[in-house]
Amino acid sequence: MAKRVQSLSEQGKFDEAIKLMIRMSEGYKKVVDMFPDNTKEGFGTEALPTIWEDKENFNQLMVKTSDDLIKLTSLIKNTDNIEATLGQFMWGNCKACHNKYREEH
Q: Which stretch binds ligand HEC (CB under 6 A): 15-23, 71-79, 81-89, 93-101?
A: 93-101
Q: Pattern 65-84, binding to ligand HEC, x per CB under 6 A?
A: x-------------------
Instruction: Give the Å distances, CA to CA, from 100 to 10, 76, 105.
Output: 29, 27, 13
Is the distance from CB of 23 to CB of 60 less than 8 angstroms?
Answer: no
Question: Judged by CB under 6 A, which of 17, 21, 72, 97 binds ligand HEC?
Answer: 97
Question: Judged by CB under 6 A, which of 61, 72, 76, 86 binds ligand HEC?
Answer: 61
Alpha carbons 95 and 70: distance in angstroms, whole number: 18
Nearer to ligand HEC by Cβ, of 14 and 64: the residue is 64
**Does position 86 bind ligand HEC by CB under 6 A?**
no
Return the CA Rg of the chain.
Answer: 15
- Which residues lie closer than 8 Å to 62 by C-beta, 6 or more apart? 28, 29, 31, 32, 97
What residues make contact with ligand HEC under the rule CB under 6 A? Answer: 2, 42-47, 58, 61-62, 65, 90, 93-94, 97-98, 101-102
